[in-house]
Structure 1
Amino acid sequence: MARTPSAMKYHRQSEKRRLDNRARKSTIRTFTKKALAAADSGDVDAAAKYQKVVQGLVDRAAKGSTLHKNTAARRKARLAKRINAAKASQGSA
């Protein structure tokens, strides 16, 4: 455990950052699941709405140090790919 005052402060700060990052990533996962569920059920409009929300959340997480920029790009690309596939299958059906 930290003994010096500066080490204790650093520990408090890192714990606060960890909890903030955890909450931010949880929100991203929740909205990603909602977008994928909407796309799988055929509700493309709702999926597109959730996709826009997810992209904003992911970009903000990558702006800080919560997510790496390449991770953010990969998550957005994979989500877009799934939603576009759902749109295409809905259009052909």
Structure 2
Amino acid sequence: MANHKSAIKRHKQSQERRMRNRINKSKMNTVIRRVEEALVAGVEDAAQEALKIAIPVIQKTAGKGTIHKKTASRKISRLTGRVNRMMPIG
């Protein structure tokens, strides 16, 4: 553990950020898991609804700096592609 007052404060701040990032990432992973569960179950409507919920959560996680902007974009793109492939064309 640090001895200087500024180092103690820095450590405390990093712990708070770590917990905040963990919470944000956990929420994001939960909504992604719900989309994937709907895909595995083969329920098209549930997959689309889960995706509509997941996209803003992923974007918000990136906006808060927990994940990179391009990582969020990639996750959204891949999930959307998987849901679209599940949907019948026409």
TM-score, normalized by length of structure 2? 0.90
Where do 5+ consecutive residues of structure 2 fail to align?
A: none
**Post-superposition shift, 1:40?**
2.2
Q: Size of the alignment, in residue pairs?
A: 90
Question: In 1, distance between residues paired with 2:64 and 2:29?
Answer: 17
User: Match for residue 11 of structure 1?
Assistant: 11
Any idea what the Cα deviations from partners look like across 1:5-32, whole Å, max 9, x if unmatched?
A: 1111111111111111111111111111
Secondary structure at the aligned position of 1:79 is classed as helix
Q: Cα offset for 1:84?
A: 0.7
In 2, the alpha carbon distance for the partners of 1:63 and 1:34 equals: 21
Q: Distance in 2 between matches of 1:40 and 1:86?
A: 10
Aligned to 1:63: 63
Q: Residue in 1 aligned with 2:26?
A: 26
Q: Which moved more, 1:37-46 or 1:62-71?
A: 37-46
Q: Which residue is equivalent to 1:86?
A: 86
> Which of structure 1's runs of 4+ aligned residues deviate more than 2 A?
none
Taking the aligned partners of 1:36 and 1:86, their CA distance within structure 2 comes to 11
- Kindly provide the amino acid, as one letter, of the partner of residue 36 in structure 1: E
- Sequence identity of aligned pairs in percent? 36
TM-score of the superposition, structure 1-length normalised? 0.88
Conserved? CA contact 1:61–1:67, under 8 Å: yes
